[in-house]
Copies of this chain bind each other. A is one copy, B any other.
Amino acid sequence: MRSDHSVGWGAVDDGVVERLRSIVGAEHVKTDDGAVAAFSRDATPLFAARPDVVVLPGSTAEVAEVLRLSTQRRIPVVPRGAGSNLAAGTLAQDGGIVLVLTRLDRILEVDADELLAVVQTGVTTTELAAAAAAHGLLYLPDPGSKTVSTVGGNVATCAGGLRGLKYGVTRNYVLGLEAVLPTGEVIRTGGRLWKDVAGYDLTRLLTGSEGTLAVVTEVTVALVPAPADSRTGVAYFPSLADAGRAVARVIADGVVPATLEFLDNKCVNAVEDFAALGLDRSAGALLLFGDDGDPDTVGRNLERMAQSCAKEGATGVTLAQDVAASEALLEARRCSLPALARLAPVTVLEDVGVPRPRIAEMVGRIDDIAARHGITVATFGHAGDGNLHPTAVVDPSDGGAIDRTKAVIGDIFAAALDLGGTITGEHGVGAAKLPWLADRLGADQLALLSRIKAAFDPAGILNPGKTGS
């Protein structure tokens, strides 16, 4: 898709490249085929687009200069961290500059007294978590891509993870941002305070804006003391509907689990083929449940959750007795994607949300849609917050399979919206889901988003073809 701005983009000619070299240093401007090809894709299958140039700034001031130049010349700029985006959110559909922020990789501060960290945008989620852990602290958001994803990318997508119901998502832990406007001004939003209502909440507006409004260069995040204990259990059910009733019983019993993940039968079997963990292949659904905190409370909550599962017809329940056993159980969830990816050349990992009580109904609809189009779709996801990852495994050599997969995805989005849900829980809209955004938000809100985009980015240079374009 081309944005409305696509007519009249400025050319990335030799003069522009020379200017970019003078800003960031010649070795940080890449125009060779290999570099351009490497930044023509992110982690989204079926999408690719070539930038004209790849630029790796080394400071906020350099980011500002690149953006000022780009606004003057009307050159598209696509900010990018690790490129682990799953919604074609970091692709340069209109060409121009891919602005790679991985050189901004310093952990500036971990303050155990203030319970916060300040990091540059290109620090990885795992590096931030490790720096916090060295002070006995925990950074709560834990997106699946955390070993490679950058904190800036987490902010751009408002990344989620396994702890959504109990602890929320990235937006709940971002206290302040340094960001560069497309016109080159550097702003600081929020700060180091838990309570600060001076001005509109630009911290949260930028969080989840997918690099379309400003380029985030520095992030201040809240940390918490690491919980003393964290443990997991697993339960098998004849069907997802049974698992869904168990989830409702857990909540009704007053427990808000730190972890509550499910795999459907297809995922269970794919994981067992892949990793031979000893899972029950006959189960209609596998439910992982866990909690963290004081050891006594964790133990009691695990027992209560196990009882809730048993009362709703679980055919087997196992509780991990320690952290190592918990990690082993979680492995079933963590290896779902690689296990499914083995089944066919193309794996399309989707990301929709429905109200928690409708998860089983949604998975039933996904199965019907997949069967109707003759595509294999397995589903796993976050049972606590209703965020599902239906995953199509596709052989593109099978004539028409890619088109049928696209039809499946459109039908899945329609089903999620029909059940009161959303087209993306945590991956973002990107270019991949922009065609459906009006179905989710309505034309009036979509028009408002474009006006907000223009308030930040009058020339429309930042990540065109995404939200706000």
Interface of A with B (CB < 8 Å)? 112-115, 136, 157-158, 160, 164-165, 168-169, 171-172, 181, 185-189, 191-202, 204-205, 207-209, 213, 224-226, 228, 248, 251-252, 254-256, 293-294, 296-297, 300, 353-357, 382, 384-387, 420-429, 433, 437, 440-442, 444-446, 448-449, 451-452, 454-456, 467-468
Give min CB distance, A322 to chain B, whole Å: 20
Instruction: Knowing A115-B251, A169-B194, A426-B197, say if A445 contacts B189 (CB, 8 Å).
Output: yes
CB-CB under 8 A for A208 and B202, given A113-B357, A448-B456:
no
Inter-subunit contact B455/A196 (CB<8 Å): no
Given A136-B254, A195-B386, A201-B205, 5 new contacts (CB under 8 A): A165-B194, A171-B201, A172-B172, A196-B424, A224-B256
Which of B172, B297, B429 contacts A199 (CB under 8 A)?
Answer: B429
Chain A: interface secondary structure? loop
Whether A197 and B428, one on each chain, are in contact in the complex, defined by CB atoms closer than 8 angstroms, is: yes
Residues of B within 8 A of A449 (CB): 199-200, 202
**Inter-chain contact B385/A187, CB cutoff 8 Å:** no
Q: What's the number of copies of this chain in the assembled complex?
A: 2
A385 cross-chain contacts in B, Cβ below 8 A? 193-195
Given contacts A429-B199, A448-B181, contact A422 B157 (CB under 8 A): no
Please, how many angstroms separate the alpha-carbon atoms of A353 and B354 in the complex?
A: 38
* B residues in contact with A199, CB < 8 Å: 429, 437, 440-441, 445-446, 449, 467
The docked-state distance in angstroms from the alpha carbon of A296 to that of B189 is 40
Please pick, from B192, B197, B294, the residue contacting A424 in the complex, using a CB distance under 8 A: B197
From B200, B425, B426, B444, give the contact of A452 (CB < 8 A). Answer: B200
**Residues of the B chain whose Cβ atoms lie less than 8 Å from the Cβ of A225:** 251, 254-256
CB distance from A339 to the nearest CB of B (A): 23
Q: Which residues of B contact A387 (CB under 8 A)?
A: 193-195
A114 neighbours in B (Cβ, 8 Å): 355-357
Q: Which residue of B lies closest to A301 (CB)?
A: B294
Shortest C-beta distance, A66 to chain B (Å), equals 18
Chain B residue numbers with a CB within 8 Å of A193 are: 353-355, 385-387, 421-422, 425
- Give bound CA distance, A239 to B203, whole Å: 36
With a cutoff of 8 Å between Cβ atoms, the chain B residues found around residue A200 in the complex are 205, 208-209, 213, 449, 452, 467-468
For A426, the chain B residues whose CB sits under 8 A away are 195, 197
Distance of A147 Cα from B427 Cα, bound (Å): 40
| Distance in Å: Cβ of A297 to nearest Cβ of chain B | 5
Could you say which residues of chain B place their CB within 8 Å of the CB of A456?
Answer: 448, 451
Q: Identify the closest chain B residue to A199 (Cβ).
A: B441
Query: Is B442 within 8 A of A187, CB to CB?
Result: yes
Residues in B whose Cβ lies below 8 Å from that of A442: 187-188
The smallest C-beta distance from A448 to any residue of chain B, in angstroms, reads 7
29 A-B pairs with CB atoms under 8 Å apart are A113-B248, A113-B251, A157-B197, A158-B197, A168-B172, A168-B194, A169-B194, A169-B195, A181-B444, A186-B444, A188-B445, A191-B422, A193-B354, A193-B385, A194-B385, A195-B353, A195-B382, A195-B385, A195-B387, A197-B208, A198-B423, A199-B429, A199-B446, A199-B467, A200-B213, A225-B251, A228-B254, A448-B456, A452-B452
Query: What are the residues of chain B within 8 A of A208 when measuring CB–CB?
Result: 197, 200-201
CA distance A357 to B437 in the complex (A): 44
CB distance from A171 to the nearest CB of B (A): 7
User: A76 CA to B209 CA in the complex, in Å?
Assistant: 31
Instruction: Give the nearest-CB partner of A214 in chain B.
Output: B448
Q: How far is the CA of A112 from the CA of B249 in the complex (A)?
A: 11
Instruction: Report yes or no: B437 in contact with A448, Cβ–Cβ below 8 A.
Output: no
Q: A197 near B296 (CB under 8 angstroms)?
A: no
Give A256 Cβ to nearest chain B Cβ, in Å.
6
Nearest chain B residue, comparing its CB with the CB of A253: B225
Q: Are B429 and A198 in contact (CB under 8 A)?
A: yes
Q: In the complex, A193 Cα to B381 Cα: how many Å?
A: 14
Q: How far is the CA of A294 from the CA of B293 in the complex (A)?
A: 11
Nearest Cβ in chain B — how far from A416, in angstroms?
A: 10
Contact residue among B186, B422, B452 (Cβ-Cβ distance under 8 Å from A455):
B452
How near does chain B come to A152, taking the closest CB pair, in angstroms?
16
Residues in B neighbouring A160, C-beta threshold 8 A? 195
Cα–Cα distance between A197 and B187 once the two chains are bound (Å):
23
Does B171 contact A204, Cβ atoms closer than 8 Å? yes
